Amino acid sequence: MIFNKQTIPMKFVCAILFFPFFIYSQDFPQDYFQSPLDIPLDVSGSFGELRSNHFHSGLDFKTKGIEGLPVYAVGDGYISRIKISTFGYGKAIYITHPNGYTSVYGHLQAANGAIQNYIKKKQYEENSYEVEMYLYPSELPIKKGDVIAFTGNTGGSGAPHLHFEFRNTKSEEILNPLHFGFKKLINDARKPVIQGVVVYPLDSTVVNNSQKPIEVNFSKQSDGSYLGTKIQANGKIGFGINAHDFCTNGYNKNGLYKVKAYVNGILYYQYDFDGFAFDESRYINNFIDYERFHLMGQRVQKLFQLSNYPLSIVADNKKDGTIKVQPGANYNYRVELYDFHNNKVELIIPITFLSTETAIKKEIKKTPYFIKAKNEAIFEKENVLVQIPENAFYSNFYLNFDVANDILTLHDDSVPVHKNITITFTEAKGYAEEKLAKTYIASLDGYKLDYNKTFRKGNTFSIKTKTLGKFKLAQDEIPPRIYNVNFVEGKTITAQKTISVFVSDLQSGINTYNGYLNGKWILFEYDYKTKKLVHNLEDAICIEGRNDLKIVVTDNLQNSTTFESYFFR
């Protein structure tokens, strides 16, 4: 649901639960907006889809595997925000519409016309590829159907596509774009598909001889529903599912829209992806079985909530989804999975009480460092200090903490972290000043060192992290590489449209990149995926005759490399 529950009296909540479509058809305009693309809409990412550390905040539309398709304003309004960043949304444009909604277009190749000129002017003013601007309504007004940009693959995009998002302009809540009349433009007659089912023995329950979560076998019946094999348990249990949805013609695994779980016909758990707030998105790590995801790469969504956490897609539930299996009782567990087009698949699992021998025992590795998730904690050994704020974790557990051979072991990545943990290495000894200046706290991934943004005070170093694992002090003294420039030094390059080089950095990564033509700053667009820096010669900074090019690239520890060359025009 998309309403703020705290402010709505209970009787209205009930009314909303009973008449959701009535409310939506009233609230969301169905014929106001047009498609952002002029090709059939092919969804490669759905709203709320389970991603790394977040729920997908929009729809991804395929762009035939290419870049450069026109992107249309879906409605009248004005460009209210533009953000150009190397990571994340890449080049993104926000249009605020007069009816209270903002549409967002991400991973763009370039903006169009006056918008592109506006961005470029800002980039040259700030001498930066990455820029962010908030605009007044009068600056770049937009009419429905205007070509605002071209599709691309910028930022954290794995293949050319358009990321398309809807927000409530005032609250900034992210809304399912399919509520805004786009549903009819998408072909989906296929039901969701269940790939796996897991049963979780909770507390000290034994399920089918196991205290550990086990997979439930199931088979498809003639009516298209799934039937699971009977569960035998002697206490509290919960279920998890690994499921996807497919559009009619696509092979992309999309997320579900709605899930409802019933026990003997009574609703025990429900979620639906109508909308959520950005600061809820990280709760995905509690929504899924994070340990299983870490170990097996499977995103199993838990259909129960052991602790109350403020994830609004499930927050309305009166029951927590767990089932207390009692002697003499039989239960019929039924799950309904829906996509946005109301295609539904059902899974039925019979449950019976049986106290069996425990063949597979739950192993709890006890350590002296028991974490109570609600409390803050501080651990210290040798010259390492770890500060954990309250509610950094979703549940209590025994943390593995040690410092040996200058390496901090702070558990492993099987436990999700919700809030920043501060790690401090104090008084690093035996380093000269030049070495201290190149020192950072690295995460150890096997033998690989991953850079963390490190704060230094004298010989004390600290980082904030949301990933557990091994950490150590490391040095990066190797400057970045600049290579494969796309012209021959001293040649005349009249036909060429761009100047490009590749940049790479072994350890801490690229931090800054600046290009100059004849001493004047020029814009280089940076794509971290291809490692390429590209300057468009149509920016018209180069002059007739000899042009001297200089490119300076630094890494995150201020190791710097300068490339110099010249060409004629």
| Residues contributing to the site for Zn ion (CB under 5 A) | 45, 60, 163
Minimum CB separation of residue 166 from Zn ion in Å reads 12
Q: Residue 45 or residue 416: which is nearer to Zn ion going by CB?
A: 45
Residue closer to Zn ion by CB (options 60, 274) is 60
Nearer to Zn ion, 62 or 163 (CB): 163
- Compute CA distances 421 → 370, 418, 439, whole Å: 16, 9, 20
- The answer to whether 132 touches 126, Cβ cutoff 8 Å, is no
Smallest distance from the beta carbon of 45 to Zn ion, in angstroms?
5
Q: Which of helix, strand or coil describes residue 272?
A: strand
Of residues 59 and 415, the one with the C-beta less far from Zn ion = 59
Q: How far is the CB of 359 from Zn ion (least distance, A)?
A: 44
Query: Which residue, 60 or 188, is less far from Zn ion as judged by CB?
Result: 60
CB of 567 to Zn ion, least distance (A): 39
CB 501 within 8 A of CB 534: no
> Quick one: residue 65, left, alpha or beta (phi over 0 = left, psi -120 to 50 = alpha)?
left
User: Min. distance of Cβ 172 from Zn ion in angstroms?
Assistant: 17
Query: Smallest distance from the beta carbon of 56 to Zn ion, in angstroms?
Result: 6
Query: Which parts of 374-506 fold into alpha helices (H)?
Result: 433-436
Select 164 or 271, whichever has its Cβ closest to Zn ion.
Answer: 164
List beta partners, residue 26.
none
Q: How far is the CB of 149 from Zn ion (least distance, A)?
A: 15
Is 48 or 213 the residue whose CB approaches Zn ion more closely? 48
Q: Could you tell me the sign of the dihedral formed by the alpha carbons of 38, 43, 48, 49, in that order?
A: negative
Residue type for 58, please?
G
The beta strand positions in 169-285, using DSSP E, are 174-175, 193-201, 214-215, 218-220, 226-228, 231-233, 236-244, 258-263, 266-272, 275-276
**Please, which residue, 60 or 346, has the CB nearer to Zn ion?**
60
Residue of 56, 34, 300, 329 whose CA lies nearest to 184: 34
Nearest to 451 by CA among 424, 476, 425, 477: 476
Query: Residue 92 or 549: which CB sits closer to Zn ion?
Result: 92
Q: How far is CA 555 from each of CA 225, 374, 381, 434, 547, rounded to the nearest angstrom?
A: 55, 38, 31, 16, 27
- For Zn ion, the closer of residues 3 and 528 by Cβ is 528
Min dist CB 153 to Zn ion, Å, is 12
Token representation of residue 264 = 């003997």
> Nearest distance from residue 73's CB to Zn ion, in Å?
19
- Take residue 95 and report the two structure tokens written for it: 């249009």
> What phi and psi values does residue 104 have, to the nearest 5 degrees?
-125, 140
Distances (CA, A) of 149 to 117, 257, 567: 12, 29, 32
Minimum CB–partner distance for residue 49 and Zn ion (Å): 8
Residue nearest to Zn ion (CB): 163
288 in Cβ contact with 300 (< 8 Å): yes
